Structure 1
Amino acid sequence: MLTRKGKYGLKALVHLAHLPFGQLAFINEIAVTNKIPKKFLDAILGELRNAGFVQSRKGKGGGYRLARPASDIIVGHVIRVLDGPLAPIPCASRMGYQRCEDCEESVCQVRRIMLEVRHAIAEVLDKRTLEEMRDAANDDIAASLKYQA
């Protein structure tokens, strides 16, 4: 399950992706616009900065911006940084694999279906970019405006 941390991180990145590449955004602007607690967002953006997704500048005129184009940021990578492995259980994980002590993996039906779940999740998230998320949001806004007219 996507945690609140993962959700807020993606929302903040989509916010930054709407800006012209390289333009800075104040953390308060991101927090208020996306209804994210500022203190929590500060910690999330710190993790995203350490992972190379965003850059920050301190002081007057400071803020956050994407470290690379939105088309180069894979959604699955962001989620793994913020929330850890995609698999619902450790024995089905590729990145955070841990052997179960209570079953025989080769015949465990729970593990088998959870491997399918992990694969399906990765299939979607590892093929989607931040650019696609941003553009889908733009399409949703345009459709909403058209519907209201």
Structure 2
Amino acid sequence: MLTAKGKYGLKALVHLAALDPGETAQASDIAKCNNIPKKFLDAILGDLRNAGVVQSKKGPGGGYALARKAAAIKVGNVIRALDGPLAPIACASRTAYQPCRDCRDVKACSVRLTMAKVRDAMSDILDTMTIADMLASPKSSRGTLKALRG
């Protein structure tokens, strides 16, 4: 399940993707426009900066911007950076596999096999979709951002 951290991170990235080239946004503006607690957003933006997804600029005219084009930022990578592996349980993860203590036969475990299919289905979508795709969706926050700017 997507956490609030992952959800807010995606909202912030769509917000940044809607900016004009070269423009930055203050964390307070992103938080206000997207109904995200500012303190929580500061931590999220720090994680996204550490993951190389956003960049920050200090001083006058400073703020946050995408570190690369929105079409180059995969949603799956963002979620992994903020929330960890996509798999719903650790034994179904490809990147953070951990066996269950109660499992007698990992290869035949019907729960693990089912959750691996869930992980694969999620990955098929999230690893092909980009922030640009999210921005282009009919109900994206682009209209909200443009309306707030006046």
Match of 2:17 in 1: 17
Question: Which residue does 1:36 correspond to in 2?
Answer: 36
TM-score, normalized by length of structure 2?
0.90
Contact 1:56–1:65 (8 Å) recurs in 2: yes
> Structure 1 runs of 4+ off > 4 angstroms?
137-142
Aligned residue type for 1:54: V
Q: Which moved more, 1:47-56 or 1:96-105?
A: 96-105
Aligned residues: 142
The secondary structure found in structure 2 opposite 1:65 is strand
Which secondary structure state, in structure 1, belongs to the residue aligned with residue 137 of structure 2?
helix
Map of 2:135 onto structure 1 = 134
- Aligned-partner Cα distance in 1 for 2:139–2:62: 26
Aligned to 1:146: none
Which TM-score applies when normalising by structure 1?
A: 0.90
Q: Superposition RMSD on alpha carbons, in Å?
A: 1.6
CA contact (8 A) 1:5 1:83 kept: yes
Deviations 1:64-112 (A, max 9, x none): 0000000000000000000000000001001111112211111110001
Matches within 5 A, 1:48-87: 48-87=48-87
Match of 2:121 in 1: 120
- Cα 1:107/1:121, change in 2 over 3 Å: same
* Gap runs ≥5 in structure 1: 143-149
State whether residues 5 and 44 of structure 1, in contact with CA within 8 Å, keep that contact through their aligned partners in structure 2: yes
Q: Tell me whether 19-28 or 36-45 shows the greater mean CA deviation.
A: 19-28
Which whole-Å CA distance do the structure 2 matches of 1:139 and 1:117 have between them?
26
Aligned counterpart, 1:147:
none
Structure 2: give runs of 5+ residues left out of the alignment. Answer: 144-150
Match of 2:90 in 1: 90
For 1:13-61, what per-residue CA distance to the aligned partner results, in whole angstroms no more than 9, with x for missing partners? 0000001233111111100000000010000000000100000011222
Percent identity of paired positions between Structure 1 and Structure 2 = 60
